Homo-oligomer: A and B are copies of this chain.
Amino acid sequence: MKKLDTGLSSVEGFSFSAVQAGIRYENRLDFSLIYSSKPCNASGMFTTNRVFAAPVKICKERIGNAIHGILVNSTNANACTGENGVRTAEMLLSEAENLTKSPAASFLNASTGIIGRQLPGEKMKHALPDLVKGLSAANGDIIPRAIMTTDTKPKSAAFSFTTSKGEFAVAGTAKGSGMIAPNMATLLTFVITSAPVAKKNLDEIFRRVVEKTYNAITIDGDMSTNDTAIVLSPQSGENLSSAEDLAAFEEALNAVCTDLSYQLVRDAEGGTKCVTVKVHGAKSASDAKLCAKSISQSLLVKTAFFGNDPNWGRIACAAGYSGADFKMEEIDVSIEGIALLEAGQPFETDIKTLEAVMKRPEYTIDVTIGKGGHSFTFLTSDISYDYVKINAEYST
């Protein structure tokens, strides 16, 4: 496996385009297309929010089809827009399918941005011919830029890997920033590969990878109406089929999604830290995840991270209310290997050393809650003044 610095363009068979359609703002890339002339198998994981956007509804209906493209817009979520929102999205997809001479219902759709406003359908329809004309295999870097909302940096990652059937690439892009919570398919992320993988294998592998990556990061604990994770793999009579080949694909897919997860947390809204929270010694896998998630989501823990405050009491406290089964006499907490709490009681540590560690932009917290065999790792950000500022003023 090898890391590539050529982003989405690393993957043969796909082309990319984005335009300024003026959806909510002028002079902003807001409408983009990922296209494959070959039909693809698609797997997707979507928000489990009962209030979900029109594109989520459409994707769920189409995810079993042979897919040729993903049409994406930023600045408007097309959520809480009722039947009208679904009709507008379907009209745009149908136009895009026609312009690329693709079969009906072969395009997926994703939107991000403000909730509760109808898409400007006619304006977007008029932008489609230019969008399709712009498609180019070399244009991979435009997609990460066009899908950003409050992200400060475009995000992409690519890896190549070797199988018995030759060398392939996997590449992905994501947009996140706020609202990234576990138990959902993160905000928007699109992964493409040149490796042909059967739909059934693709589904299984993608679910496993998302569970350990996008579903193991948290910024503010909210879950959006639009969360969408999609992977596309070209249909072929020559699918990867041996366990070794599928494992090589899974490893590369995991590397792409892990890399994007770090980028998402590093670019958290108003965030100044990227903290890895590792829970060990849990009695079950679900206890390990519950505990890691509870610590990672605690507002008191996250504000302490922001303040460079080694307040292990808040970490122990969040572990204690997580629902994970453990005895308080068995909990150990350490930061970058420096013990803070051992067997439920404070460990005398030099506060100056600790504070110096906590001033780093990235560090790891280890929490052991017993002698069980289960671990789980979460990534989290801090909560800063700027987080409050960005989110107090978002829609107005």
Contact = CB atoms under 8 A, between A and B. Distances in A.
B346 A391 contact: no
Interface stretch (A6-14, A79-87, A88-96, A231-239): A79-87
A70 interface: no
Contacts of A391: 299-300, 303-304, 307
Contact of A115 (B52, B313, B387): B313
A222 B318 contact: yes
**How many monomers of this protein are in the complex?**
2
A392 B355 CA distance: 13
B299 A51 contact: no
Report the interface size class on chain A.
35 or more
Given A222-B321, A341-B116, A396 B313 contact: no
Contacts of A179: 300
B221 A299 contact: yes
Interface string A31-61: 0000000000000000111111000000000
Contact of A50 (B313, B326, B346, B394): B326
Contacts of A211: none
A242 interface: no
A313 B392 contact: no
A223 interface: yes
A312 B79 CA distance: 12
27 contacts: A50-B324, A50-B325, A51-B344, A80-B316, A82-B329, A82-B343, A82-B344, A82-B345, A115-B314, A115-B317, A116-B313, A116-B345, A116-B346, A179-B300, A222-B299, A222-B300, A222-B317, A223-B320, A224-B317, A307-B391, A309-B392, A309-B393, A310-B395, A311-B394, A313-B395, A384-B388, A385-B389
Given A82-B345, A307-B393, 7 more contacts: A49-B317, A51-B317, A80-B328, A80-B341, A115-B314, A220-B300, A303-B387
